[in-house]
Structure 1
Amino acid sequence: MATAQNASYLIGPAPDDPRLTRIVTGTDQSGAAVSLNVVEERPLTIYLNAREIVTAMTIGDHPTYLALGFLLNQGMLKRSDQVTGVDYDAEIETVVVRTRVQTDHEDKLARKTRTSGCAVGTVFGDMMAGLDGVTLPDTSVRTSDLYNLSHTINRTPSLYLAAGAIHGTVLCKADQPLIYMEDVGRHNAVDKVAGWMFSEQQDAGDKVLYTTGRLTSEMVIKTALMGIPTLVSRSGFTAWGVEIAQQVGLTLIGRMKGQRFVCLSGEHRLIRDADPAAQPPEPQKAGRKAAT
């Protein structure tokens, strides 16, 4: 079994990065003074060629991956598009993604709607249409790998454990977590994963996506559009998220804690090779770091 200590992340959480948190002071329920380490939140403006697309609130790490993944998952950038440049200006907190051929993003902007996502959860009118013709590979997933992933990920030092108020998304292969992205919005975290996969030309068919957030319609849509056949979460489901997963044949697993999980779509991919009773129970959460 992999452990948090020997898990070899290509990109892992950075709970000790001083740019991502800061200390704030207040009082507790008894009036005593307290100091807490809290997550930073910064605006990041994303351009596609000469057009401003959106300003997202983010913790500020991996801005180019976030910009690429956002544009890909909104259908404004296609995986076949030739990207000629991705430029980040830290001073004005802006990323400009340039393509060789102009895109049709103006039309997509006209159909922008608000979703249930945290932070800037915007989705464009044709994301559902983008699912037409999506075929996910029937890559099997072993329950022993899922238990090992859950064990490893939940014990990895992270911003969530250090400060809370944040979501994590982990790209995995078999029982190995590859990259672990965190952000104030779960959609930002998954967009960073999508941007990394695009930049590194990663195949999606043999991957599992693990998230700490709810399994909503947009999370399911983004996972399917990325070509990942299995989506796993510690959290619960929305009815529309389940319905879309069933429509596209995505394996959807939620409430994965300790010995338990629930699969509401794509049962056919599961290889049940682990005895749930033999798995360790969910550990008590470690207390969040107090500022010193």
Structure 2
Amino acid sequence: MEISAKEAILRYENGRLENQTALVAVEFPLTIYVNKEELVTIVCTPEYLEDLVIGFLTSEGVIRGVADIDEIEIIESTGHAYVSANFVNKFNAKYRSKRYITSCCGKSRENFYFQSDASLLESYNETETTLTIPAIFARMNEFEAASETFKRTGGVHNAGLCTADEVLLSRMDIGRHNALDKIYGYCLRNGIEVQDKAIIFSGRISSEILIKTAKTGCGIILSRSAPTELAIQMAQELGITAVGFIRGESMNIYTRSDRILMK
């Protein structure tokens, strides 16, 4: 399925109007059913959908992990994902039942999280991973250079998983949260440990992104943009290193600066 589409536009540039075509990001509604019951509809970019489903269900606490899933069937033509699970957290599944999640990250989605995340403070395991400042700049440059869909459309967010030496994995989506769920789902499916790595991100570090980062087990998040006040408070409580405004030769280290080394 295509992740971008051509649209006719009227472009103004250098004092002239011209008829042109532009690439725009595709929005795709995916309705997830768990054990034949409708759970949620997510508006997303239509790629790596199985990773998205696994990452979403695990990070939302509907299942405990990939071992709880017996089968996933994705029907792209109708926008449905059917999940057969041998274990379902009935409270979380009921609470989330038939919710519609847009590609934006507004207050309604943040409320969707907080009511079921009280146990997170007790379950988070801190990482001993450190990164040098030169490594952070290098990884951000590598990450942005590979963001081809953003360069073409300007309409998606990017998330990645990196070490000090390389960006291991990168995913994009119209929703910041979806991009991170795709990363998490891929790691769950392939048994990739994330505790000794860092999340690298293109957009704002909101409270929901901070929560999802904590749930993956990563203790470091790097972003080209800024965190919110609530995200900083959560990062302090959870022991997560939040680094933002990584641009050129500058960055802001908001929390747990002990993990960031000069060289």
- Paired with 1:162 and 1:93, the residues of 2 have a C-alpha distance of 25
TM-score normalised by structure 1 residue count: 0.81
3-state SS of the aligned residue for 1:76? coil
Change (3 A) 1:185 1:113: closer
Please tell me the residue identity of whatever aligns with 2:48. Answer: H
Give the structure 1 partner of residue 18 of structure 2. 32
1:75 aligns with 2:61: yes
1:117 aligns with 2:100: no
3-state SS of the aligned residue for 1:165? coil
* The 10-residue stretch of structure 1 (69-78 or 126-135) with the greater mean CA deviation from structure 2: 126-135
Give the structure 1 partner of residue 238 of structure 2. 248
CA contact (8 A) 2:72 2:81 kept: yes
- Paired with 1:21 and 1:133, the residues of 2 have a C-alpha distance of 39
3-state SS of the aligned residue for 1:28? strand
Please tell me the residue identity of whatever aligns with 2:96. Answer: L
- Paired with 2:183 and 2:73, the residues of 1 have a C-alpha distance of 18
CA deviations over 1:145-182 (Å, ceiling 9, x no partner): 21110121122251000111110001112221111100
Select which of 167, 181, 187 maps to 1:177: 167
3-state SS of the aligned residue for 2:213? helix
Superposition pairs of residues 218-233 of structure 1, within 5 angstroms? 218-233=208-223
Q: Displacement, 1:81?
A: 4.8
CA contact (8 A) 1:24 1:38 kept: yes
Give the structure 2 partner of residue 265 of structure 1. 255
Please tell me the residue identity of whatever aligns with 2:173. Answer: D
* The 10-residue stretch of structure 1 (46-55 or 234-243) with the greater mean CA deviation from structure 2: 46-55
Q: Displacement, 1:127?
A: 2.3
CA contact (8 A) 1:68 1:97 kept: no
TM-score normalised by structure 2 residue count: 0.89
Give the structure 2 partner of residue 62 of structure 1. 48
3-state SS of the aligned residue for 2:62? coil
- Paired with 1:267 and 1:114, the residues of 2 have a C-alpha distance of 34
3-state SS of the aligned residue for 1:213? coil
User: What is the alpha-carbon root mean square deviation over aligned residues?
Assistant: 2.3
Give the structure 1 partner of residue 137 of structure 2. 147
Change (3 A) 1:265 1:157: closer
* The 10-residue stretch of structure 1 (70-79 or 246-255) with the greater mean CA deviation from structure 2: 70-79
3-state SS of the aligned residue for 1:22? strand
- Paired with 1:35 and 1:128, the residues of 2 have a C-alpha distance of 48
- Paired with 2:42 and 2:78, the residues of 1 have a C-alpha distance of 13
Change (3 A) 1:184 1:56: same
Please tell me the residue identity of whatever aligns with 2:219. Answer: P
Query: Which stretches of structure 1, 4 residues or longer, exceed 4 Å deviation after superposition?
Result: 112-116
Please tell me the residue identity of whatever aligns with 1:117. Answer: C
Please tell me the residue identity of whatever aligns with 1:39. Answer: A
CA contact (8 A) 1:76 1:108 kept: no
Q: Displacement, 1:144?
A: 2.2
1:23 aligns with 2:10: no
Change (3 A) 1:147 1:43: same
Q: Displacement, 1:183?
A: 0.5
CA contact (8 A) 2:42 2:101 kept: no
3-state SS of the aligned residue for 2:254? strand
* The 10-residue stretch of structure 1 (242-251 or 196-205) with the greater mean CA deviation from structure 2: 196-205
1:129 aligns with 2:119: yes
3-state SS of the aligned residue for 2:89? coil
Q: Displacement, 1:76?
A: 1.2
Q: Is there any run of 5+ residues in structure 1 with no aligned partner, and where?
A: 1-17, 274-292
Query: Which one scores higher on RCO, CA 8 angstroms, separation ≥ 6?
Result: 1
Q: Is there any run of 5+ residues in structure 2 with no aligned partner, and where?
A: none
- Paired with 1:183 and 1:121, the residues of 2 have a C-alpha distance of 16
